[in-house]
Amino acid sequence: MSHPARGPLRIAIVGSASSGKTTLAQALAERYGDVWVPEYLREFVDLRGRVPVEGDQLHIAETQAAREDLAAARASRFLFCDTTPLMTAVYSRHYFGRIAPGLAQLVAARRYDMTLVCAPDVPWQPDGLQREPEDQSAAVNALLSAELAARAIPHVRIHGPLAQRLQQVEDVLGR
């Protein structure tokens, strides 16, 4: 299922906060012996000591995309992307009521070979400045579903405990 001539398959892992994206990305990279790209937003919040404002959204998405592109050079079969610019756009719509034109263009230009949507069925936990003080999963997942539909992005919904999630992905990717 890989495309050696054009690089590894890029696997987007999206979902609301605390839906298990990072855990799944790390576990998939370990299972397949390949590369994952951590979520830049976490680093951004840690470095700046604040949550992003609307003017930060394009920078966050561009940095995430640039890190994916750099990591692709180290990957062989798969590149597991712990979130994508699409999630930055979803959160922009959620918090700021819109997706700025530059961010919309970046999202439209990014291509992933597969999109995995993590269900918010793992226990939600606050995470300091990184995460909302209350669960926003329902609203964010509704916006995510709308964006996936509007952009005609095929996706696989992943749910359950980690072992079940890994099996669901393996059923799609193969071993």
| Predicted local distance difference test score (pLDDT) of residue 7 | 84
| Predicted local distance difference test score (pLDDT) of residue 131 | 47
Please state, rounded to an integer, the average pLDDT across all residues of the chain: 90
Architecture of domain 11-173: 3-Layer(aba) Sandwich (3.40)
| Predicted local distance difference test score (pLDDT) of residue 5 | 53
How far, in whole angstroms, is CA 84 from its chain's centroid? 4
Please determine, for residue 2, whether its predicted confidence score (pLDDT) is greater than 50: no
Quote the DSSP letter at residue 18: T
Please determine, for residue 144, whether its predicted confidence score (pLDDT) is greater than 50: yes
Going by pLDDT thresholds of 50, 70 and 90, the confidence category of residue 174 is confident
| Predicted local distance difference test score (pLDDT) of residue 126 | 61
For range 80-86, the mean pLDDT: 97
Contact 120, 19 (CB under 8 A): yes
d(CA 97, CA 106): 18
Query: Could you tell me the two tokens for 2?
Result: 């890989």
Query: Could you tell me the two tokens for 5?
Result: 């001539």
For the chain, the structural domain boundaries read 11-173
**26-40, 52-66, 114-128: the lowest-pLDDT one:** 114-128
Residue appearing with tokens 């669901």: 168
Query: Could you tell me the two tokens for 47?
Result: 């470095």
Please determine, for residue 4, whether its predicted confidence score (pLDDT) is greater than 50: no
d(CA 165, CA 93): 28
Give the tens place of pLDDT for each residue, 104-137. Answer: 999 999 999 999 999 988 776 666 554 454 568 8
Instruction: Measure the N-to-C terminal CA separation of the chain; round to a whole number of Å.
Output: 10
Give the tens place of pLDDT for each residue, 7-25. Answer: 899 999 999 888 899 999 9
d(CA 33, CA 49): 34
